[in-house]
Amino acid sequence: MSDERKVAKKGYFHCHMPTRVIFGPGRLSEIGDVCREFGKKVLLFSDPFLKKVGLTERVIGYLKKEGLGVTTYDTIKSNPLCTSVDEAAGILKEEKCDFVIALGGGSTIDTAKAAVVVASNGGKSWDYVWGSDHEPVSVTDVSYSIITIPTTSGTGSEVTPWIVISNPALKGQKAAFGDYRLVAKVSVVDPELMVSMPPALTASTGIDVLSHTLEAYVNVNATPLANMLALDAIKLAAENLPTAFGNGNNLEARAKMAWADVLAGWTISHAGTGLPHAMGMAAGGLYDIPHGVSIAPCLAKWMEFSLASSLNKFASVAEAMDNDVKNMPLRKKAEKSSELVKQLLKDVALDVTFSDLRVTENDIDYLVEVVYTRFGGDVESCPRKPTREEVAELYRQCL
């Protein structure tokens, strides 16, 4: 996939969206039928909240009704740890499961994907991450099919090849890796499952959708496919996130955010992310901040920083977010994009600074180092490639 991205500049691109998406309220009940072709025994990944509210049991019921054997791994927490992944991989092998289902948010889906890598290839999950202190081990085999059932609308992980995990032994550092064979075979996207998300989680995951698509759309790896997906998702997020945040029971807004998240996942699968993700993940690793929240402080400032390098694209972002700007002159319209993002952050109570998230001036040198060593690809792909000093200054402006 990285090779494909390298040649994007020559007018080459590729499309790879193999996940069969089954979308609609109530479609969770089809999960048993969906799984029949993948084997007899499944490891179901889930989290303590979904267990508590009975959703895990409901899924187990649908699976058992089809005669499937089910083992669960349901202790996953936000910002999943490499140690948890390794534990799950052990269970996957010991229990001789045929395939996996990830029921949950990005943390659960990433844990499931990473466990498949470890169970298929051996070693430890941290061996595979990019930009760490060691050469990453290559993924050779992917021996288990992955089915995803997202319960948040944020990470896009239900359709992407990407994984982000944290290492508790290294100050909780986050790192990413991925392989195109880890893309889910099927994703059941049922907006009814998102209704239970509290407003704060709706906001942080929704801002993740917005930032995925914004960063990918303006970055230098954007392809015709990514451009189309991104603009549609930006429009959906701008129109529906405040509604879903204000009234979590609005199923139409939930459905539109869930669909925007699928589009955003496909977008970053083809064009990657950009500097806000790198800056946010560096901070999020240090202070265990929810992923979407960690990106919020720098999103609009980074847009202002990048604006002049891609006026047409930022103007299109503004138009996708607010049709009323359509007759403005180009520069004005482009400038409007960061204002609209600031307004949206305020509307969902995420107008936060890095200081609000405990980051201090003293952390900045360390964070800049993490941005460049672990998320260098996100810097390289920016429409205005920043220097180290400029990244430090962006952190400073967002304290």
**Pairing of β 162-167 and β 145-150:** unpaired
**What DSSP assignment string belongs to 254-312?**
HHHHHHHHHHHHHHHHHH---HHHHHHHHHHHHHT--HHHHHGGGHHHHHHHHGGGGHH
Residue 16 in the binding site for a copy of itself (CB under 8 A): yes
Half-sphere exposure of 360 (CA within 13 A, CB side): 1
Q: Which stretch binds a copy of itself (CB under 8 A): 93-101, 102-110, 259-267, 304-312?
A: 259-267
DSSP H or E segment with residue 2: helix 2-6
Q: Which stretch binds a copy of itself (CB under 8 A): 222-230, 287-295, 300-308, 339-347?
A: 222-230
Instruction: By CB under 8 A, name the one of 28, 35, 70, 229 that touches a copy of itself.
Output: 229
| Closest listed residue to residue 385, CA positions, set 221, 227, 265 | 221
* Residue 41 dihedral angles phi and psi, to the nearest 5°: -135, 135
Can you say whether the dihedral through the CA atoms of 9, 301, 204, 318 is positive or negative?
A: negative
Residue 259 in the binding site for a copy of itself (CB under 8 A): yes
Residue 48 in the binding site for a copy of itself (CB under 8 A): no
* Residue 51 dihedral angles phi and psi, to the nearest 5°: -65, -45
Instruction: By CB under 8 A, name the one of 11, 67, 198, 329 that touches a copy of itself.
Output: 11
Q: Hey, what's the torsion of the CAs at 115, 229, 275, 4, to 10 degrees?
A: 70
Residue 7 in the binding site for a copy of itself (CB under 8 A): yes
Give the integer Cα–Cα distance in Å for 383 and 375: 16
Residue 366 in the binding site for a copy of itself (CB under 8 A): no
CB of 235 to a copy of itself, least distance (A): 10
CB of 224 to a copy of itself, least distance (A): 6
CB-wise, 109 or 258, nearer to a copy of itself? 258
Residue 134 in the binding site for a copy of itself (CB under 8 A): no
Residue 326 in the binding site for a copy of itself (CB under 8 A): yes
Residue 330 in the binding site for a copy of itself (CB under 8 A): no
Give the integer Cα–Cα distance in Å for 36 and 30: 11
Residue 249 in the binding site for a copy of itself (CB under 8 A): no
CB of 131 to a copy of itself, least distance (A): 27
Residue 2 in the binding site for a copy of itself (CB under 8 A): no
> Residues in the site for a copy of itself, rule: CB under 8 A?
7, 10-25, 27, 224, 228-229, 232, 255, 259, 262-263, 326-327
